[in-house]
Amino acid sequence: MDRENDNSRGWIAPLLGRLNLLQNRAETSNIDLFRTQVEECRIAELIGKIAGEINRSAGYHVVDYQDFLPPQKIVARAVFAKSGTRNFLDILLREDGVLLLFYTLKRSSTRRDRYFPWYTRRKGATIHVKEIIDPEKISEEDVRKWFTYLLSGLDKKLKPPTEGETGAAADAPAKLLARKASM
């Protein structure tokens, strides 16, 4: 079995090297540690499960869900679009922790959009929530609140409480980095 894994990893390396597509990687970065933590907590699967529940309950495709493979810094994304506005829920990896991000993108409406929808002009993103979270403290109820906020069009009245508002400490990155140092 190990020989098969070595062969499956090794077949592409010579081609990537010849095409100058390999990147020198430093030792394990904080992002790798945070990715491991997010994968262990299964946040992406939980977001996907709830997005599926919403779509099944509605009877049509209301929420678009994507998850991303390493080494992407984005872990999961849910998108709700209505009336030319796309609302996003992203889970991102940063050197300082796992980031929960809610933002909107509005499309300008022009005649060209009708014939060339892929060539739409977009206004800048409006960020509504940008917060470092502790994946170990995220419950299914928290994710449901995130989706309630997303489906509301990011209505301020339905904004989920942040860790600072709930009294929970935002020291998850420090704990994980301390764990790394003790290894």
Instruction: Write out pLDDT tens, residues 52-84.
Output: 999 999 999 999 999 999 889 999 999 999 988
Q: Answer whether residue 4 is part of any domain.
A: no
Number of domains in the chain: 1
pLDDT digits 0-9 by tens, 14-63: 888 889 887 776 556 789 899 999 999 999 999 999 999 999 999 999 99
Q: Answer whether residue 11 is part of any domain.
A: no
Nearest to 43 by CA among 126, 99, 125: 99
**Domain that includes residue 109, residue range:** 29-182
Q: Answer whether residue 1 is part of any domain.
A: no
Q: What is the pTM of this model?
A: 0.75
